[in-house]
Amino acid sequence: MLKIENLHVYYGGIHALQSISLQVPEGKIISLLGANGAGKSTTLRTIMGIVKPSEGRIEFLGESLVGLKSFQVVMKGIALAPEGRRVFTNLTVTENLALGAYIRSEKAQIREDIEEIYSLFPRLKEREKQSAGTLSGGEQQMLALGRALMSKPKLLMIDEPSLGLAPVLSQGVLSKLKELNQTRGQTILLIEQNARAALSIADYAYILETGIVKLEGPAAELASDDAVRRTYLGIH
Amino acid sequence: MKKISRNHILTFAFLLVFIVLLILAQSFLNPYYKRILNLCAIYSIFAVTFNLVFGYTGQFSLGHAGFAAIGAYISALLTLSPEQKAVNFFLQPILPVLENLQLPFFPTLIISGLGAALVGALIAWPALRLRGDYLAIATLGFSEIIRVLLVNMQRVTNGALGLKGIPGHTNLLWSWGWLIVCLFVTKRLVDSSYGRAMKAVRDDEVAAEALGVNLFKHKMMAFLVSCFFVGVAGGLLANLISTIDPKVFQFFLAYQIVGITVMGGMGSLTGSVIAACLYTIFLEALRPIESQFTIGSLTIPGIPGMRMVLFSIILLLVILFYRKGLMGNSEFTWDGLINFFNKRKKKPTGYSSGGTQS
């Protein structure tokens, strides 16, 4: 579905992505792992058209995404739940969700979909008229996820959903993702620092290190690989 | 549904009563009070439009004085009679195109608005790509450029001499009428899906962009609507004070508008109107403190500018004690008003139940 080949990105003089290649097949959860500064978020930002690549190809369903503006990428069917949640704090939960459907125009259908998100995340329903800034971190993450789903994306990209959440909450978010993948066949590109948790739900994973793909393979294999266990999972 | 129609009826009735009051005021009030009320409406338009750009869309623009100047000069040049123009332009003759051009008031106001919006589009094209402080600096610079142009384009603007003898078409119906139109348009805009996107841009540009919101388009839309009404308000102002020169449109005007909007509450249109009226009325009411007065044996000479000192103290107090301005980001609504009185009835013990307007 999504195919990235030899992607190079520079931030000024810093070579942030050095020939990244990866693939996201339809219906799978693909995870992008790595420490701070490995280039995970940069990859997402490049896909979204926020950062321009200096070289390389990004293809989505056979069309090139390079050079498109963010809103055009969204129109193609890609949604991003950005790092740090970034909900609209002064707007209500319902307004946040409605904004997720910004690129769509069928009003009745959107209202139905909001209800569907509420059935997926009952906690949000309880808070529908509250401004998003008053929600807890976990609730905000659910809202960010629900908001991203509102555009009915073919590909859902999530940047560090467990950031700043208690382990039990982040596990809850990840199992929601697995549920979405299994019940709806949602294709997901998941970025995580918590490698163990991500590998437990992903089908395939890429491990980035300072701008290059260090390792890749089926999630189960990576999870049992000795080198990975030592460096990324902290198991000796 | 029933509730909505009740509110509509209340709004309609209120507007009707209000217009009748305006007509009465226009025919019976003395010119001094009429002038203050006109200024209230014009400053309200300034504040409401600034709120649209800053309070709702989060773009800190200080260009209001410049756009008001454009509107004012356009309306002045189009309403001045050819004879008055001949009197005004005695140093250098006016451009021949403008010499005999005179239009009725309404079209001149529309042209004032469109002119300001056109210039707004030209400046916004590069400037709205800047964020935060940079936009403020760019628009501030733009305002200053406009002022310098006004001083130097002798054959169009009559330079520092300004324009005198502008007919003074503005009356209460014109000014408050335009305020009502401006409020209506702004309210409809911020409640629409465009408005929701604008608020999203204000809260978090990156997240809004990630959802497919075209940042530039929405900023531009807010900015242009704002420019149009500022231009109209400038035109109204020129036809109210009947003498304009570049000094009317200095930075100070832009700061006043920011002050009023902050005082009224970011993201509250009714707050902007209330604050603009309070500001204008207070500023007039405080005039006596600029003249000489005596406290006991102490005689204080008249100090021009004293009321601005007092005003800044009031502004400081508002910001200290009402962090979000008088109205915060809530609006005055009929529901809020009715709830307020209902609560009062239920609690005859006199405990305050404030803060119910939402």
pLDDT exceeds cutoff 70 at B158: yes
Confidence of residue B352 (pLDDT cuts 50, 70, 90): very low
Distance separating alpha carbons of residues A149 and A134, to the nearest angstrom: 21
* Residue A95 to residue B206, Cβ atoms within 8 A: no
- Going from N- to C-terminal start, the domains of chain B cover 33-288+306-345
Chain A environment of B204 (Cβ under 8 Å):
86-89
Number of Cα atoms under 13 Å in the Cβ half of residue A97? 28
Percent of chain B at pLDDT exceeding 90: 44
B199 and A CB contact within 8 Å: yes
Q: What is the mean pLDDT of residues B314-338?
A: 81
Q: What is the mean pLDDT of residues B178-197?
A: 93
Residues of chain A below pLDDT 70: 233-236
Alpha carbon A230 to its chain's center: 26
Question: Can you give the pLDDT at residue B255?
Answer: 87
**Which tens digit of pLDDT belongs to each residue from B249-300?**
888 888 889 989 988 888 899 999 999 999 999 888 888 777 777 777 777 7
For CA atoms A63, A66, A68, A69, give the dihedral sign.
positive
Best of B54, B131, B192, B211 to disrupt the A interface (most A CBs within 10 Å) is B211
**Which tens digit of pLDDT belongs to each residue from A143-176?**
999 999 998 899 999 998 888 788 888 888 888 8
Q: Which residue has the higher pLDDT, B305 or B215?
A: B215
Q: Give me the residue label for tokens 């690129």.
A: A103
Confidence of residue B349 (pLDDT cuts 50, 70, 90): very low
Distance separating alpha carbons of residues A103 and B46, to the nearest angstrom: 32
Question: Can you give the pLDDT at residue A50?
Answer: 84
Confidence of residue B345 (pLDDT cuts 50, 70, 90): low
**Which tens digit of pLDDT belongs to each residue from B59-96?**
998 889 999 999 999 999 999 988 888 888 888 888 88
- Show Cβ contacts of residue A9 under 8 Å, excluding neighbours closer than 6 positions: A15, A16, A17, A39, A42, A46, A51, A52, A53, A54
Question: Chain A: which residues have CB within 8 Å of chain B?
Answer: 48, 50, 69-71, 74-75, 79-80, 82, 86-91, 95, 98-100, 102-103, 147-148, 151
pLDDT exceeds cutoff 50 at B354: no
Q: Rounded to a whole number, what is the distance in Å from the CA of A45 to chain B's nearest CA?
A: 9
- Show Cβ contacts of residue B2 under 8 Å, excluding neighbours closer than 6 positions: none
Q: Which long-range contacts (CB under 8 A, 24 or more apart) does B21-25 make?
A: B22/B172, B22/B173, B22/B176, B23/B173, B25/B172
**Mean per-residue pLDDT over chain B, rounded:** 87
Q: What is the mean pLDDT of residues B215-244?
A: 94
pLDDT exceeds cutoff 70 at B358: no
CA-nearest residue to A107 within chain B is: B193
Question: Can you give the pLDDT at residue A235?
Answer: 63
Question: Can you give the pLDDT at residue B314?
Answer: 81
Q: Rounded to a whole number, what is the distance in Å from the CA of B138 to chain A's nearest CA?
A: 24
Size of interface A-B (CB pairs under 8 A): 68
Question: Can you give the pLDDT at residue A54?
Answer: 92
B267 and A CB contact within 8 Å: yes
Question: Can you give the pLDDT at residue B356?
Answer: 36
CATH architecture of B33-288+306-345: Orthogonal Bundle (1.10)
- Going from N- to C-terminal start, the domains of chain A cover 2-231
Q: Rounded to a whole number, what is the distance in Å from the CA of A75 to chain B's nearest CA?
A: 7
Chain B environment of A86 (Cβ under 8 Å):
204, 206-207, 210
Picking from B246, B255, B249, the residue whose alpha carbon sits closest to that of residue B311 is B255
- Show Cβ contacts of residue A219 under 8 Å, excluding neighbours closer than 6 positions: A31, A198, A199, A200, A201, A202, A203, A204, A205
Fold of the CATH domain A2-231: Rossmann fold (3.40.50)
